[in-house]
Amino acid sequence: MDYRKIHEELTDNKKTFIEILTQAAGFNLDYWNNREKRPNETVGKFKSLIKFAPKNIKPKWNKRISLKGHYGKIGENTCFEFFFNIQLKRKKQRYKCKGYFFDKDYRRGVVIQTFRVETLIKIIK
């Protein structure tokens, strides 16, 4: 798919935030693995588990603090942050997801800075 079409898909007002996020991750995903402190889940788990986020989720938008780093300058100025629960079989877990879209003027992908378990709520025996 060409960049113009990708940009149109990722800025389509009819889509929900989560639709845009999962689509952006399919087009161009930058994901940070292996951080020493509070590491993210693996990229494979992100791709599988993000599908469990509620379709109507509304993220919190914050001004991006650092403009350095990969895509720092060309990324959008605000980053999204949201939490969601997965309750399946006997397990309930709360996840945190944080990142930002890029490019600033021509959206074509997403950087995921944080995707990790926030709380293991319960394991029902």
Partner 1 sequence: MDCYHENLVEKRIEYLTLNSKFIYTGLECSDCGATLWNSDTDRKFNSWLEKLYKSDREKFQIQFGLSKNTISCIKKISEPFPGVGISALFKAIVAIYLELGPNTTFQKIINKVIEGEVYRSFRVRGKDRFKIQFKPMPLMEINSMAEFFDETPAQFVEEGILIILSIFVENDQKLKDFWEENIKNKLNALLKVA
The site for partner 1 (CB under 8 A) is made up of 27-37, 39-40, 42-45, 47-49, 51-52, 54, 65-66, 68-70, 72, 86-91, 93, 98, 109, 113-114
State in angstroms the smallest separation of the CB of 109 from partner 1.
7
Q: Which CB atom, from 13 or from 97, has the smaller least distance to partner 1?
A: 97
Q: Which CB atom, from 98 or from 107, has the smaller least distance to partner 1?
A: 98
Give, in degrees to the nearest 5, the angle at Cα 25 between 119 and 12.
110
Q: Which CB atom, from 59 or from 109, has the smaller least distance to partner 1?
A: 109
State in angstroms the smallest separation of the CB of 72 from partner 1.
7
State in angstroms the smallest separation of the CB of 52 from partner 1.
5
Q: What's the rounded Cα separation, in Å, for the pair 81 and 95? A: 11
Q: Please list, in sequence order, all residues whose beta carbon lies within 8 angstroms of the beta carbon of residue 7, skipping any fewer than 6 positions away.
A: 106, 107, 108
Q: Which two tokens stand for residue 34?
A: 């292996």
Q: Please list, in sequence order, all residues whose beta carbon lies within 8 angstroms of the beta carbon of residue 35, skipping any fewer than 6 positions away.
A: none
